[in-house]
Amino acid sequence: MAVPNVDKMTLKELQELEVKVKKAIGAAREREKVEMKQKVESMLAGAGLSISEIYGGRGSTKGKTVAPKFVNPDNRSETWTGRGRKPRWLTAKLTKGSKMEDFAI
């Protein structure tokens, strides 16, 4: 493989070379990732195991709905799953002295 003489290249040629090198690095990383994944899978298959057995098979929970755990007794359509920020109706009632258990479903 011929190594370009970067000392004699123009700025434009150097910038073009930089773009090509970045693309080549990205492609090489992707190739190595695929090769490593294949090696790991073949090692696990040789041992009679799967990736989900080793790392857990939970998968992604993104986008799944969660059942509500708390409800506003004044307006039963207002619920909260217990995740994220507390809704205004709940914080207002908690500041007035109510307890979280009062709103549990």
Q: Residue 95 has what pLDDT?
A: 93
**Short-list 28, 13, 87, CA closest to 103:** 87
Instruction: Report how far residue 90's alpha carbon sits from residue 96's, in angstroms, rounded to the nearest whole number.
Output: 10
**pTM (global) more than 0.95:** no
Please write the tens of the pLDDT for every residue from 56-103: 766 566 777 889 999 998 898 999 999 899 999 999 999 999 898 888
pLDDT for 33 equals 96
Backbone angle region of 80, left / alpha / beta, with phi > 0 → left and psi within -120 to 50 → alpha: beta
Which is more confidently placed, 98 or 23? Answer: 23
| Radius of gyration of the chain measured on its C-alpha atoms | 28
- Domain ranges, ordered by start, for the chain: 8-55, 70-103
